[in-house]
Amino acid sequence: MDILGIETSCDETAAAVVRDGRDVLANVVYTQIPLHQPYGGVVPEIASRAHIEKIGAVVGEAMRRHRVAVGEEASIDAVAVTYGPGLSPALLVGLNAAKGLAKGLGVPLIPINHIEAHLHTPFLFDSIAADGSRQQSTAVGDRASTGLCPAEAMPALGLAISGGHTCLVDQPEYGSYRIIGQTLDDAAGEAFDKAAKLLGLGYPGGPKIDRIAREYVEDCRQQSKAVDFIAFPKGRPREGVTALAGLPADLCVSFSGLKTALLRYVQREGGPERLAAEGGIPRIVASYQEAIVQSVVDRARTALRRGSYRSFIVGGGVSLNSRLRAALNELAAAERVRLLMALPKYCGDNGAMIAGLAFFRRNRVEDAMSLDVNPCLEVGE
């Protein structure tokens, strides 16, 4: 079954065709990052206008590549689309396009939750050669980060970690989701982006901080110096805080204290320009990143010990972070759980995760054609 997936929840206009939920036959992502860069973050009006301008070409290119991969008999069996959470004017563009396509092609429409889709990414692989043709010999799982099919990976603990969300999700079986912990304020990616903005490093901050921190740690190693991290707060909610919706505080993170600590530190040291001139930025960003990584690892460890999981599934843009990937690998080895992480190209927002999950979530919503966007859609809703 070949499903076309459309994703426009934030600043990527994306479309993909995925066979039977896992085999990515076409994947096209147009990123709007350069449009938002001058503003230091995503501007919803700019995002929605750019989605309107690009959606036709992006979907058209995904369908063209699908035909190259499987031949002229290529057909689309269903259209899947993100209907939340995300920016309302951005989601609307994708949902309306998907409704039109589903109606035009005479196929079902499958609405998908963006965060649940991030947790599907480790199950995606692709069998497309460099010239766009399909490699016949590629078996399921051949080039995937995992050979497991979703049902075999259950029960699982999920960690969705991106610019818009940071949550721990209990998945007793595939397609069943319950949030057991989350951030009480900023998402991890937001914490990276805001720090980078404060330090004048540009947008998006995550990849820049990742690189600078990696080079700093490498330099220390080469000079046989111990890495001297600044002791930033480790993202624990304040003592006595009962976290959102009755979630246990020890499975939740809060990055507001960390951000304030960074701001105070930078002010005390004379501001970002002076710090940059004195070469102080690398140590700060490495320490800040370490605080985020340790806070996430700490909550994930607690969640893994509290449940009985066969696997630990991680998805979302921040899972590209090299330090986080290393720390999660160590955690999974110590806790004897199988870690499933997406191939790097499926970590950020993409249509493949939408089309992929849709195969497993086909008959969930009755009247999909009359569904509206839901910017605050909850996991498991």
The binding site for ligand KG4 (CB under 6 A) comprises 10, 162-164, 189, 192-193, 204-207, 210, 316-318, 320-321, 348-349
Q: Give pairs for 53-58: CB < 8 Å, separation 24+.
A: 54/13, 54/30, 55/6, 55/8, 55/13, 55/15, 55/93, 55/94, 55/97, 56/97, 57/30, 58/13, 58/14, 58/15, 58/28, 58/29, 58/30
Which residues sit opposite 175 in a β-bridge? none
The residue count for binding Zn ion (CB under 5 A) is 2
Minimum CB–partner distance for residue 269 and ligand KG4 (Å): 23
Smaller CB distance to Zn ion: residue 12 or 170?
12
Q: Does 190 bind Zn ion (CB under 5 A)?
A: no
Cα R_g (the chain), whole angstroms: 21
Measured from the CB atom, the residue of 185 and 250 that comes closer to ligand KG4 is: 185
Residue 242, Cβ neighbours under 10 Å: how many?
11
* Count of other CB atoms within 10 angstroms of residue 186: 21
With beta carbons less than 8 A apart as the criterion, state whether 123 and 144 touch: yes
162 touching Zn ion, by CB under 5 A: yes
> Which C-beta is closer to ligand KG4: that of 237 or that of 348?
348
Quick one: CA dihedral 241, 244, 250, 253, positive or negative? Answer: negative
Please report how close the Cβ of residue 206 comes to Zn ion at its closest, in angstroms: 12
In contact, 315 and 121? CB cutoff 8 Å: yes
Minimum distance between the CB of residue 234 and Zn ion, rounded to whole angstroms? 25
The stretch near Zn ion (CB under 5 A) out of 72-80, 96-104, 222-230, 349-357 is 349-357
- Closer CB to ligand KG4, 135 or 329, in the complex: 329
Q: Which stretch binds Zn ion (CB under 5 A): 33-41, 155-163, 239-247, 307-315?
A: 155-163
262 or 379: CB nearest Zn ion: 379
Residue 31 Cβ, how far from ligand KG4 at the closest point, in Å?
A: 9
Measured from the CB of residue 319, what is the shortest distance to ligand KG4 in angstroms?
8
- The binder of 204, among Zn ion, ligand KG4, none, by C-beta within 5 to 8 A per type, is ligand KG4
How far apart, in whole angstroms, are the C-alpha atoms of residue 153 and residue 142?
Answer: 17
- Residue 265 Ramachandran class (φ > 0 left, ψ -120 to 50 alpha, else beta): alpha
Q: Which is nearer to ligand KG4, 5 or 206 (CB)?
A: 206
Q: Which stretch binds Zn ion (CB under 5 A): 45-53, 76-84, 236-244, 346-354?
A: 346-354
**Amino acid letter for position 95:** L
Segment interacting with Zn ion, rule: CB under 5 A, options 156-164, 204-212, 223-231, 329-337: 156-164
User: Which of Zn ion, ligand KG4, none is residue 350 near (CB under 5 to 8 Å by kind)?
Assistant: none
Q: Which of 349, 352, 356, 368 binds Zn ion (CB under 5 A)?
A: 349
Between the alpha carbon of residue 191 and those of residues 82, 161, 183, 238, 320, the distances in Å are 24, 11, 11, 18, 15
Map residue 325 onto helix, strand or coil: helix
- Closer CB to ligand KG4, 192 or 312, in the complex: 192
> Tokens 């086909």 correspond to what residue?
362
Residue 79 and residue 123 in contact, taking contact as beta carbons nearer than 8 Å: no
Q: Which of 111, 317 has the CB closer to ligand KG4?
A: 317
By C-beta, is 78 or 291 nearer to ligand KG4?
291
Q: Tokens representing 117?
A: 């889709």
Looking only at Cα atoms, what is the longest distance across the chain? 66
- Binding partner selected for residue 145 from Zn ion, ligand KG4, none, CB under the kind-specific 5 to 8 Å limit: none
Q: In this structure, are residues 80 and 355 in contact, taking their beta carbons and an 8 Å threshold? A: yes
In the complex, least distance from residue 107 CB atom to ligand KG4, rounded to whole angstroms: 27
Q: Give the shortest CB-162-to-Zn ion separation in angstroms.
A: 4
For Zn ion, the binding residues (CB under 5 A) are 162, 349
